[in-house]
Structure 1
Amino acid sequence: MSKLLKLHIILFLLAFGTANALQKHSQEVYEDYEYLEAIDSVATDNANVLPKQFDNLSEKYTGDDFIYQRSKASSGWWTRFKKAVSDFLKSLFNIQNAGQASRATDIALKIAGVIIFLLVIYFIFKAIVNKEGTWVFGKSSDKKIIPVTDLENNIHQTNFKALISEAESNNNYRLAIRYYYLWLLKGLSEKEIIDYDPEKTNSDYQYEIKTPEISEQFAYTSYLYNYIWYGEFNVDQTQFDKAKRAFTNFLNSVKA
């Protein structure tokens, strides 16, 4: 290839590259021009925007529904109490985290609530139930039941026949059956059939009785006693006479 041809090729490439560079530069200039025109148009539009005038809003929107700022209300007694408990637990257990102290306070208050509830139920129960296991607010004749504990501790020195006679004259049949039962225990104890103890139950005495016939009679009279005394049923003359007959027959058989 001749030197002249090579020179022509080089001049052609330089000319072509220069033309492309000029074209690209003119394109960028054109785009920058369009961008500046857009900015200028927006600025012109904004310059033409006028501020909107509103009427007095404070007069139009009045009332509690449009009050968004409230004064901070003072803490109630429960909130103050919980804070006092929380501070106490923090000091007692050296709790640094506020969340842990809050959870510990909730747990402590729940436990205290359960304990207080159980204590209230216990004292109510103790208040309305007497030592014999019967309701205090029962029949008016039940007031005579209170001294029976002293009789239980002194059955061997008690004249049950006189007590039963007095109870019958007052139509207090339940109390008369109570005396009959204690009188029966006195007789069984004197015959050494049972070992009397005020703390023992009917089942304890039933277990001590070895004679089948006496055991059967004791089971029946114990049933009558539990039904009439602890059941708190109204016992009429006919029912009392039937129960009285069972007790007197048993007492006579024990004495024989």
Structure 2
Amino acid sequence: MNKLILLFLFFFCSNIGAQDSLPLAKKEKIVFTEKDVVVDSDFVALKPFAKNFKKKYIDEAFIYEFKTPEKNAWDRFKEWLANFFKNIFKFTDSKSAVNFVDILLRTIAILIVLAVIYMIVKSIMNKEGQWVFGKNSDRKIINYDEIEKNLHKVDFEKLIQKSLESGENRLTIRYYYLWLLKKMSENHLIEWDVEKTNSDYLYEIKDEAQKEDFAYLSYLYNNIWYGEFELDEATFAKARNAFEKSIKKINNG
């Protein structure tokens, strides 16, 4: 046992001595010069930003802070309507009331558009085109709206003939009425003016019989021209005869 211990100590001491006898490695200092530095000589082109490049980043995907849009007058009005109908119809939530208001406003808008279209179509259908003056006007063609302004130049007999041929009985009665005013003005029974009304002319007529005739003819004209009913042949013939009789009486003095 003692021999083993001695052998172990011998080898241990020999190993330590061998380590102490190893020479120390010498550290070399590395020095770099400019020749050792590699310079990158490649050309680098600058890439500028595209003009108005910021516009590409204004979509919702690039907006990280969402702000509640301010309500305008129309939005506040719709909100007021929604609250109003919500209280009346007892909607369960505000969204239902808003949807109801949207449908209501769209319906009203459609009705307004249809009403405008109806008025335009009706105006076109009632348009009476252009007509011809008498001989003294060199047969100039004028618009119907100008007839009253040029009452004394219009050849009403030709206008009446044209309207009869086209079957426009209601328009024929209007021409008879304007022809009556023309004859009354020419015979100094009235002072014609485009701004005057039937009541104004009735007040100017002095003769009671003529005043009574004019009152009746004015009644016929107003009901036929402005009435919305269908003008039958019997009513038209009766009115036509009344106008022709009165005009003939005025011509005969």
**TM-score under structure 2 length normalisation:** 0.49
* More helix, by proportion: 1
Instruction: Choose between structure 1 and 2 for higher RCO, CA contacts under 8 A separated by at least 6 residues.
Output: 1
